[in-house]
Structure 1
Amino acid sequence: MIPEIPLWIKNPDFDRVDWLNKLIQCMWPYLDKAICKTVENIAKPIIAEQIPTYKIDSVDFEELTLGSLPPTFQGMKVYVTDEKELIMEPSIKWAGNPNVTIAVKKFGLKATVQVVDLQVFVAPRITLKPLVPSFPCFANIYVSLMEKPHVDFGLKLLGADLMSIPGLYRFVQELIKDQVANMYLWPKTLEVPILDPTKAMKRPVGILNAKVLKATKLKKKDLLGASDPYVKLKLTGDNLPSKKTSVKHKNLNPEWNEEFNLVVKDPETQVLEFHVYDWEQVGKHDKMGMNAIPLKELSPEEPKTFTLELLKTMDPNDVQNDKSRGQIVLELTYKPFKEEDLEKGFEKTQSLKLAPEGTPDGGGLLVVIVHEAQDVEGKYHTNPLVRLMFRGEEKKTKHMRKNRDPRWEEEFQFMVEEPPTNDKIHVEVVSTSSRNLLHPKESLGYADISLADVVANKRINEKYHLIDSKNGRIQVELQWRTSA
């Protein structure tokens, strides 16, 4: 009886996965068809390529089904490391009733080979890495076997059981074990790419220098005067706040000559959007017009001046856009990070010296990635978010409700003119509640992290104990990217 006891009972390292077995059981009729169709599509070209070698007329699948019995997960180990990866080690048993019948024709004669009574016991290691904030949330799948698999099946030819031939059964079984083990036995792995990790992580690849020069022939919005225009700039696909110019009071032909730097993550798809507003001391600011510039229209390191009409909407068929709303003039320069650094691959980018061309000596980009926190608990409520304070600038993660072990996986950037060797970044976990009027906000702990190490090492990824918290910890990754 002992070998039949599930692993999650015998071994405390394994978790039970009954829910997964129920899911597979419900999905099996559909998985069966999908897997068989994929196998057939893969096998047919290979068979067609080999047929001339053996002078065979044809090889066809007469039957191809995995049967009605799905594989069973006996248990699963799950490992989470400090790096961006998830490791799973399931124990899989499949005692199936497949029917795979292949017809081989040669010289007008036909022979059928049938595979039946398949049994497979396998213990793979499946690693999902790197974990990324884009669906399906991992960039690659790595599969390897922790031990040689057990494979058993019946093989029938013209009604006779081929596996009953003396010595053939053991030969075939050992051949399959050895062949599979040679390909995928740990540490050898099968790598299945899912996403381009660089794009999935949306890591900075350059800086957009945007100069808002002037606007002309703007329309009056105020009843008793002209307008008080200002401009908001934002890159699509970025959650950072918009950049804003100053307000030019009572001016329909304002000149700003103001300069902004925006972090670029994908110059092929991102678009610079700009909106002109009429500032109001009280109430909502009126929209005066908008337009957008795709970054793919820019050549690296070449300043380009745009004079664009202000539109009501970005819909090209909107008749309201025919009305003149004035013009705006901008000068844009895209400064990519050094190409030789970007080509070193994703695994090395976590410690690369990346910064835009033209960055002042010693300047760069401080990247802060808030991964997760553990064992945080408030006295009145536990709805955590993380506040980052650096040189008077504050950034916040999203709000998590009723969670003692929140995972954010959010990235923030700070442009710095000189290395922050003597600086610290204040990281605080805060809980907020709109229901508790007496205590709407409370601190769940904080850490002041010295940046000297990240300046010296270019990257650190550690867990920090939270001050003023009983057991709370937070995992923060810091990167310092420079141009030299």
Structure 2
Amino acid sequence: MVNPVDMSENSKFALPVSSDGEANVLSMIYRFFKKVTIVGAVYLVGYMQWSVAWLFCPVILSVLRDQWRKENEYRRNIAKVAAVSSERDVVLARLDDLPAWVFFPDVERAEWLNRILLQVWPNVNHYARTILKESIEPAVAESLANYKLQGFKFERMILGTIAPRVGGVKVYDKNLSRNEIIMDVDLFYAGDCDISFVLQRVRGGIKDLQIHGMLRVVMKPLISKMPLVGGLQVFFLNNPRLDFNLVGAADVFDMPGFSDILRRCIVEQVARMMVLPNKLPIKLSDEIPTVDLRMPEPEGVLRIHLVQAQNLMKKDVSMLGKGKSDPYAIITVGAQQWKTKHIDNDVNPRWEYWCEALISSRKNQVLQCDVWDWDPGMGIQNDDYLGRCSLDISQVVRAGRLDTWQTLQQAKHGKVHLRLSWHRLSSDTADLKNALIETQLVKNAELSAAVLSVYIDSCRNLPNARPQSKPDPYLQITVGKKTENTAVQMRTDNPVYEIGHSFLVQNPEIDMLDIKVLDQKTGSTLGQLTYTIVSLLRQAGLTMVNQPISLQKSGPESKIILALQLKLLKEAIKEEDYEEDDKPPTPTVVTPPAPAAPEKVIPAPESVTVAPAAPETTDGASSPIVGTVEPDAKNLNGNPEKISEKPVPVEQIIKQVDTPHESQKSPVERESPKLVHRTSSLTTSAGEAGLGRILLSLRYSMQNQTLYVVVHKIMNIPLKDPTNVPDPYVKLYLLPGRSKDSKRKTLVAKDSCNPEYDDQFEWVIPLAELHSRHIEVTVATHKGFLGGSPVIGQVFIHLNQYDFREATTMWFDLMPETSPRD
């Protein structure tokens, strides 16, 4: 007789065997039908006498799609590991996205905040579902409808168990109002969310969602009662990086094209919600008027003139071979975006395009210009990429006006010409005349003279188009050619909006503010308000506080409650009151030392040669990089500093971060000694090796993780044969890892021993890798035997020897060639 317990135990061990057997059967059936499908497809192609391309094209597309997915999956896995690992593991792994506190002395560690986020994360699910369902879903559906993709709808929204990580927190304590607290949060999310949706009756899902960006939190006003802060303003300074993986039936479309459309639509909606100038306000105290949090507060206007581009890549293919390109540009500042017209068959296009951006934070915002080759199709995903450039807006604020050529990144060659000007805002009516005169000086451009901020609180006693039910009202706000729509308030005749918008005004004396109250159900107009902006010029401070105004073409008691504020543009001048920490240092040029062994003490310099404020380009544009090298070789204690070419081990960074006193210093400050050069006023000399000297500028942008190098000019190239004057050019490689992608090259200067270039080149390098990289600068001439390019001289720049908290401009002696040729 068999024991029942033994039977149950035997049955437990028998279950996996049966499941394995079922799995093997299913696997065999799957392989059988897969082979039948392949054989059937081959037979069908032969039977129908189709071209063999019907077989090869799907195979090629499948291989490319698999390769693209593998690269994206690898990147997502790296980010997911970083999201769940400890800070020590992340730093030791030498990942690209290291915590911000590792590098910046004014950024605090926030591990305590990460623990709090992990604890409250399960309770965030409900709030996130509300945001996705009520705000993002209808907006994404509307955007996808422009691409003939209908019926987008979220079904399941689970954020998972992995909470966002904070890489560091920076709290500002200078040049602030006493009534506010501002902090920047380096936010990174790479969670295990599970979001499903329906599109075109096809069910799909989003997994491995990743978001990374700099989030600013403004706490204001400060009050004397709990919770001590009246409210919060939360927003991204620039568009965050977004990535995700499509699963389910939509996995078929997870390739460049459809996924780009969906990603772009989601980014656009996030930008509309909380990327400057848009902010997400959170009210914490009922004692604070909502207008204090939701009224737009622009700091100024950035006027952008995209003049032209030069030497763009050729992407079009014609019957005769490689054609030219049909370039156009997209300019982005936060959530604001502009697109130029495309110019056919031209790699040196001239756009002469003007636009204006509202700036709500002149510090840390970035202007980005993307250049594309237009191809007929459904959208930008069919166009070829020609490169991009980015510029810190703070540079324009310091200069007032900036005329610059920017080299395109992610491109073999090409650059764009930008003219930028910064305009502060004023409440003095005397500034209006000058603002109007300046707008009239530029033809074929609709420039602005003022900024109008509009805050809509609510509407009261709206009429009912249908007596049986209440309306679904929303507002349409128009100034000039710009129109903004509010969200729809369902089934109410007293809707509350509490929303603010800013508008650029060309001429406050003649422009109008037009507000329409519309019913979404019927499309009928429930009321209208036309307000002459010139009326604000007679108000104290050009401001109208919250007050009810009767609506036209509406009921007798229908009113709208709103507040208005007008600011006038001031002439672009250099900012004198900008933060002292952000002022550029006085440009100085010094001579680099002769090659020396590490740890050798270099004597203090006795003289320096001061360079011009900004080297002039051939077309009058100033170089975008100016800087300094400390001319004094002694530190604060009066001791000469030493040169060390040893890179900083990451383990030492960990040890120093854990040290109480040293944790206040950045790794660059702790381990990278300043490179001290022997200076000389003899800038006209031919250098130590007699091969000439080259003037270079170096700068590293922490915001963009980008290294900028400007090749200004070369002096005194030796002329061995008066009948054979060299045609010099400069090529640069980022080492180690010599490749075509890291190669940069100037134009050729014909018949010159003292050529001038003023060309800027850029490399995107994570700060964690900066100390281990160096740049090879080679000067060569095109006049060689059988068309060769003999090398005149070389310079190696070891990046671990420079303090990149400030720009540097230096002369380097050209030395004999020591590296391998191309």
Give the TM-score band, short-chain normalised. Answer: 0.3 to 0.5
Higher-strand-fraction structure = 1
Higher-helix-fraction structure = 2
With normalisation by structure 1, the TM-score equals 0.47
